[in-house]
Amino acid sequence: NMNSVICSVRFRGGAELLFDGVKKHQVTLPCQPEPWDIRNLLKWIKQNLLKERQELFMQGDSVRPGILVLINDADWELMGELDYKLQDQDNVLFISTLHGG
């Protein structure tokens, strides 16, 4: 499957502040030989959307503790987390549960 994947990436709970306050991004992931998974999506977000303070969003190749990830409104822990294979038109929501500074 060499198709690009178009998905919606959303940020809530303060996570959007790391992305210029933009809460919703329509993302077109380019064609690549292997399927896009959440691990690759996070790399893409880090390179293309996240401009500063990466440590507030990422830890290693995953999100930092305190950020909930929902895939099509289901907890990503039920979906295989980083290994979940993205489908066209998926909705991925990142919610920061960390407050204060």
Q: Kindly state whether residue 11 falls inside one of the protein's structural domains.
A: yes
pLDDT of residue 87: 94
Buried b (16+ CB within 10 A) or exposed e, 49-84: bbeeeeebbbeeeebeeebbbbbeeeebeebebeeb
The answer to whether residue 21 is domain-embedded is yes
Residue 41 lies in a domain: yes
What tokens does 70 get? 């929902």
User: Please, what is the average pLDDT of the chain?
Assistant: 92
**Burial of residue 90, with CB atoms counted within 10 A of its CB: 0-12 exposed, 13-18 middle, 19 or more buried:** buried
Q: What is d(CA 89, CA 91) in angstroms, rounded to the nearest whole number?
A: 6
57: containing domain = 5-96
| DSSP string of 33-96, one letter each residue | SSPPBHHHHHHHHHHHT--S-GGGTEETTEEPTTEEEEETTEEGGGTTGGGPBP-TT-EEEEEE
Q: What is the pLDDT of residue 2?
A: 61
Tens of pLDDT along 30-62?
Answer: 998 889 999 999 999 999 999 788 999 999 999
Residue 79 sits in a domain whose CATH number is 3.10.20.30
Q: Is residue 101 part of a domain?
A: no
Report the domain count for the chain.
Answer: 1
